[in-house]
Structure 1
Amino acid sequence: MKTWFFALAFIFAAPIVSAHEWNVASKDSTVSFVSVKKSVIAEAHSLSGIEGNIRSDGHFELTIPLKTVETGIDIRNERMQSMLFDVTRYPKVILSANLPKNLLKSMPVGTTQTKEIPAQLALHGKIKRINFEVLIVKLSHRKVVVTSVKPTIINASDFNLSSGIKALMQIASLSSISTAVPVSFVLTLKRD
């Protein structure tokens, strides 16, 4: 009876185990963006704690926790979290895309490939379709690095972030903060 139970458990668990073929290695992945204040002062920021996976059917999902925003200044981190991103209501960014089913599997080790990936970006309660141009580097049968070829411009107005930017300008006594922000990323994916 025990053998029968374990056989059934294995059969039903197998699709779950193999459902995520590639997983984002969080500690080796980052998203960065640049903000410009007073029209001339550019500052680089980053987000970490990224999680994601590519399923065997090619569905890709990436989750970026907004509480991890790092600007180099603690009070600015807190203000971005509360006033811009409103992490209590909108704690994360979710990016999803459908990739060709065997895209990574079919690449020979040591090769690169440039692809334009149409994706959906969910941020601050809004969803927008955005194309990302990426460079894929297959380092081994179990490790791939995906990086942006060029920054993707995210417009605050597309995601209802304009009022948050105005609030940041007011509290910091700034004449301006850019509402269009270039975003870049480096993702390391490892195979199960």
Structure 2
Amino acid sequence: MKKIIITFLLLNIFVSVARAQWQLDVLESELNFVSIKKSSMAEVHHFKKLTGGIDTKGYVAINVDLNSIETNIPIRNERMQSMLFETNEFPVAKITSITDVLFVNDTPDSTIVKKQVEFNLNLHGINKKISTEVLVTKVSKNKFTVHSLRPIIINSVDYNLSEGITKLQEVAKLPSIATSVPVNFILVFSKRFE
């Protein structure tokens, strides 16, 4: 009987570990970019809704709700949604990757590691591979962060967004809007048990 109870307890522990996931903390995570208009006027924008996580095999999936764009000007938010991102057809940008970032499970708290990562960005119906360097920080046994080490440059031409930029430029009567933007992020993951 004792052997059965021990086996049952070990099985429960194994199942709990197998189901452990790293869930994206939507309140602490941020994805932002800088737009430049009139050649030199820079403004920072961000997305308010990010969801996703990392499964036990290291598969990363993050969704960026493009309708959650925040530029601090409501009419500009609406124009970017409808004219640039065309959210009626492409409401979400998807970031996916297979990563070995789960090494954090076996490292001490406060460990900071610089890593080269590759991920796929599906934006406006187009999928592109991106490589960048990130800083992974293990905050505690149940939390770690991933910071972009330097900005990632996203070119509108790569995602068929140039026409949308032209529309924004025309409606706002601007002489120019930059067609490439630097993107930065901080992703905070918390361990979750199902």
TM value normalised by structure 2:
0.88
Question: Corresponding residue for 2:124?
Answer: 124
Aligned positions, number = 180
Deviation beyond 6 Å, 4+ runs, structure 1: 14-17
Q: Tell me how far apart the structure 2 counterparts of residues 50 and 83 of structure 1 sit (CA, whole Å).
A: 21
1:19: Cα distance to partner?
4.7
Deviations along 1:40-88, whole A, 9 cap, x unmatched?
A: 1001000121111111111111111001100010000000000000111
The letter of the residue matching 2:182 is P
Q: Tell me how far apart the structure 2 counterparts of residues 43 and 110 of structure 1 sit (CA, whole Å).
A: 33
Q: Tell me how far apart the structure 1 counterparts of residues 40 and 166 of structure 2 sit (CA, whole Å).
A: 18
Q: CA RMSD in A?
A: 1.8
Deviations along 1:104-124, whole A, 9 cap, x unmatched?
A: 212221110111110100000
Q: Is the 8 A contact 1:20 1:53 kept in 2?
A: no
1:174: Cα distance to partner?
0.7
Comparing 134-143 and 96-105, the one that deviates more: 96-105
Q: Tell me how far apart the structure 1 counterparts of residues 57 and 66 of structure 2 sit (CA, whole Å).
A: 28
Q: Is the 8 A contact 1:157 1:179 kept in 2?
A: yes
TM value normalised by structure 1:
0.89
Question: Corresponding residue for 1:186?
Answer: 186
The gaps in structure 1 that reach 5 residues or longer are: 1-10
The letter of the residue matching 1:131 is S
Comparing 16-25 and 163-172, the one that deviates more: 16-25
Superposition pairs of residues 20-169 of structure 1, within 5 angstroms: 21-100=21-100, 102-169=102-169
Structure 1 residues 169 and 119: CA distance shift in structure 2, 3 A: same
1:16: Cα distance to partner?
10
Q: Tell me how far apart the structure 1 counterparts of residues 19 and 33 of structure 2 sit (CA, whole Å).
A: 31
Comparing 103-112 and 154-163, the one that deviates more: 103-112
The gaps in structure 2 that reach 5 residues or longer are: 1-10
